[in-house]
Structures are given as structure tokens and as C-alpha cells.
Structure 1
Amino acid sequence: MKCPKLDYITLFLICFNILSSGRADLEQVTFYLHNKCPFPLWPATAPNTGHPVVADGGFYLPSNTTRRVSTPADWNGRIWARTGCVFGSNGKQACETGDCEGRLACNGLIGMPPVTLVEVSLQADKGKASFYDVSLVDGYNLPVTVTTKPSSQKCTVTGCSEDLNSLCPDELQVHNKKGEVVACKSACLSFNADNFCCRNDFGTPDKCRPSVYSKIFKDACPGYYSYAYDSPPPLRSCASKEFMITFCPANWGGEQNLIDEA
């Protein structure tokens, strides 16, 4: 029995679909996660609904080291850094901040607040701007900067002029076992009150106003969201295929070692 011959149109469509599929797989955005803190970090990622887990959701990043992480060109999610981690605790909390059920690879789990949170919404269409910000809506653990590669002032989320942990009011402080302040809760996270959380009767920009606590956050880190309806919105919108996320941007120096994603 002879196989039927393919006409030129059918053959063209098959080839086009194969090539188009290959191009889609190759469309990626690269994040460089750069640890300038004088201690190791365990960065973590969590996708929004419908998006894949990247870099297993978490990994170890020594001080003075950068790791390259690739995402789909339309990836939406969050990135944060965990601190003070000791794994192997049988499912118990392993990290002083940002923990995800004691796991090294969060695999889609959201970290325990308070953490300084990088929020990302990438646009796959060529030339369209992606959106990103740094949020303290749930609290703070480390200063972070975000920018495109090459760097551009209009595309940069700047870090903090002061360490919020050293300014944190007693009622918002998170301590480690040594009694050191390792994070600062937001007023919403600490008190769970509608006026601080911008919900119910306070669920609109005109009803939910800055508090004495969010003003402390804003004064120290003016480039970050200090509460849900922060205005003007500290949101960046830039088209790029490469972004640099730097933890402790002003605290550490030296030549960086680059680690590719496994």
C-alpha cells in the first residue's frame, strides 16, 4: 500500500507549525539574581496561577554570587529572598524569613511573610513593556533593587536609604532565636485591621490612606509599595529580555561569580 503524497500547502503548514513551536520554546526572559549581602541567601520564586514554576521555586545563593534564571517570556509571579535557613528539619520552618514549609525548593509555594517582594508581570509580545515592582505590603526583610540589563534609570526600582529592620517599631519586629530583628511586619500583617489592610469599608484609594507605619516604610524605601494604595504607584514598565535583581545593593562589594540555572 502506497502512502499518499502530501500537497505543497499541507507540507508548508506542517513545517510552519514545527518552526513556530520551536520559536515559542526559545522565547525566554533572563533574571540575574545577585547576592551582595555579606551572608548567604536562598532566593525563591512562586508563579501566579497558570504559570510554571521556575528554578524549582528556590535555591541556595552564596554571598558575592549571581545566578541566572530563565522564565517564559510571559511569566507572571513573585521573587523573594529567604534568610537564615537550615534545612532538614522534617517539614518545620527552616528559614528565619521567607520560609516555604521548610523546603529548599518551594515548588510553587508562597513564602511566609514578612519579606521584601519583587512582583513581575512579563509581556511576551516583542517591544511591549513588562511590569514590575517591589512591595512591602506584607513587610520587609532585605533591601532589593530591580533594573533592566543594560541598566536604565527610568527602569530601575531603587533600594532603601536606611535598613528598615533597624527602624522597625517594636510591635512590628520579627526576631530570630538570638533575639536579632530579622524582618519588619507591615501594619496589616501585624494587626489584621481593615484600615491597615485596605479592605471592606477601607477598600478604595480614597478611604485607605497612609498610616504612621507605612510612612516609616516609605521614608526608608521610597521606590517600594508601602501599602496597597500607595500613590503614585511605584510601578516600573520597561521592555527588556534581561533583568537584574540585587539583594543588599549597597551592603557588599566584590567580583561576582555567575552560576547558571541547573
Structure 2
Amino acid sequence: MRVRLRIDLAYDGTDFRGWATQPGLRTVQGELQAALATILRVDSVAVVCAGRTDAGVHARGQVVHLEVEEPPDLERLVRRLNGLLPADIRVRRTTVAPEGFDARFSALRRHYAYRIADSAAALDPLARAQVLAWLRPLDLDAMNAASAPLVGRHDFASFCKQREGATTIRTLEQLSWARDEGGLVVGTVVADAFCHSMVRSLVGCLIAVGDGRQPVTWAGEILRATARNPGVTVLHAHGLTLERVDYPGDDEMAARADQTRAKRVAADA
């Protein structure tokens, strides 16, 4: 009896060329699939993730699913995976997925955080692989004001690397800036889904407002142009972390997946 498993995992993206398998390159998907194939004693395993992170991007709350012939001992599977995987990938839990669950299409929203140290006091050399060091102080009030017009359903073509046949329309649910207890600037970015380089482009635009190089109105102007602007920098990947993926209740997984697939087909048609 085939069973679908859900795996929750975290990884340090520093030494990976992103999530997706690429010939000859070290990727998170490649390492995970190789470990699963060894443990399950099969030639190959295919996993589907909630969000394909770019090279250098980290994750605390990535979710994947895969099909297996028989349900394994789940606690033992977690132990064996963490014993076999490299130290920069950790499996947090494995469960039998509810009926209709799809790691990608059942997701309601993805939560990302971008962390910036904009003062000498906030710089921590031990966190240099997860935090962007910025040499100018940032005005968070200006960044939040500039972020407000970007929230909602828009065409984010100005902030995405275009892929042929793919839509750039997304629903951005939250884009806000605050300081944590250590003084780091933390940008919280939440959407139903993201297109390629969207979060890092948004941050690159808003950081230019925060350090005074651009007016508060600039971000809205860039959005309305629906075309890439060379003045918008795609910021470094290492400041970005996939924090969490939200899903509906177990009895709504299949319906959500069907709804998302239909929406993507209609948008890409």
C-alpha cells in the first residue's frame, strides 16, 4: 500500500546551490533524495517541496512530501536520516500525510524573514552566514511606509526574474520591518507563493528607501512599472530564511491543492 509521507526539515543554505537538483552541483534536494534512497533501499526517490529556495537561502521550516511503498517506522526514519545527511541539513519530523496533502499545492502561505545588521552593536561574526551586514543605519518607519502599497494582490514583474510561461501575479499578505531584541532589522515577508528572486528584490528596493537613497514613494512606483528596474538590487541570499509554511486543516488539504493547481493553470494559460 503506497503511503505519502510529510517531512519537515531545516538547512543552512550556505554551501548549497539551492534546493532543486542540478547535475554536478550540491543541492538540498539532491542530498535528501540520495539519503532517502539509501535508507529505503530503492534506486531513486522523488520529493516535492513547499518552496524551492535559491542558492544560499536557508530554511527552518521547509516541508516536503514523497511516496513510499509501505509506511516505515517514522521515528527510526528520522534518526537514520539525521545520521546519514550532512550536518547542514536536519530532519525535524516525519509523519504520514493526511489524504490529499501536497507540500507545494496544499500550502496556504510561505513565511520568510530577512535579517540585517545595520549597526556595529548588532554585528555578530557568529551569525555572518545568516545576517546581512549593512554599513548605513536604516529608517524602519520609512521602510514600513514604502512597504504598505506592495501588500495585496499585484503583478510583481518588477521584482521577479521572469521565467517563460510563468505568472508574476502574487498575493503579498505581509511585508513589515521591526528590530528584534538583539537590534537586528528583521523583514517579515508572507505570501501565498513567490516568484524567482522576488523577496530579495523587494528587500533590495526597500533598503534603498531605509538608508535614504530613495524616497518612500519609490517602491510603489517600481511596482506599478511592472518591468525590471536596474536600480533595484537583488540582495545577497544569506540574509534570507524560509521560516514556516502554513497549511489548512487535514480535511481541507485536497481541496486546497485542487484550488491552487487550477489557479496556477489559469494564470499561466
TM-score interval, normalised by the smaller of the two chains: under 0.3
Q: Which has the higher helix share?
A: 2
Instruction: Tell me the TM-score normalized by structure 1.
Output: 0.25
Q: TM-score, normalization: structure 2?
A: 0.25
